[in-house]
């Protein structure tokens, strides 16, 4: 029996847990940890943030966002540096991230990331850029 829907948090968790077990066994690592960095103003308003993970000596950035009114002020660089510092502190020596062509590929290039892949044909004629960076 197939069941189709828009959202199924229980299914998402189960699939994630099952795949994590397979992945951990395949690479000999079971140290997956989430990463979250929040940037707020003095009044507690969210200015931006970054989410990601560490696992098996690798860090990953899944989302980095800044409020449009606070862009171009170095906050993105601060978030990225904080993430890299924490990823390094957790014993990782590399970071991966993917971003859409209309988001911030130039941002990652300016911060020492190397483009290792590109997925064309995304919605609206855009593409997805895949980056990697070795941490010193």
DSSP secondary structure letter of residue 6: S
1 lies in some domain:
no
CA 98 vs CA 45, 106, 128: distances in Å: 27, 12, 7
16 lies in some domain:
no
- What is the structure's pLDDT at 116? 98
Per the structure, how many domains does the chain have?
1
- Output the domain CATH number for residue 107: 3.40.630.30
4 lies in some domain:
no
- What is the structure's pLDDT at 39? 98
- What is the structure's pLDDT at 135? 97
- Listed in sequence order, the residues at least 6 apart from 94 whose beta carbon sits closer than 8 Å to its beta carbon are 57, 58, 59, 132, 133, 134, 135
**Could you tell me the two tokens for 63?**
């989302």
- Which of the four pLDDT bands, split at 50, 70 and 90, describes residue 67? very high
- The mean pLDDT value for 14-35 works out to 94
19 lies in some domain:
no
- What is the structure's pLDDT at 113? 98
How many Å apart are CA 76 and CA 24, to the nearest integer? Answer: 31
């Amino acid at each position: 029996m197939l069941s189709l829907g828009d959202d199924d948090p229980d299914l998402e968790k189960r699939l994630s847990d099952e795949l994590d077990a397979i992945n951990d066994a395949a690479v000999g690592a079971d140290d997956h940890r989430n990463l979250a960095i929040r940037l707020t103003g003095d009044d507690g308003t969210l200015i931006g943030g970054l989410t990601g993970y560490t696992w098996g000596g690798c860090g990953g950035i899944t989302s980095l966002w800044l409020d449009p009114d606070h862009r171009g002020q170095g906050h993105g660089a601060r978030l990225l540096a904080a993430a890299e510092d924490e990823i390094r502190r957790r014993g990782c020596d590399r970071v991966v991230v993917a971003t859409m062509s209309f988001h911030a590929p130039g941002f990652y290039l300016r911060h020492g990331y190397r483009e290792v892949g590109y997925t064309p044909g995304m919605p609206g004629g855009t593409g997805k850029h895949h980056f990697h960076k070795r941490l010193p």
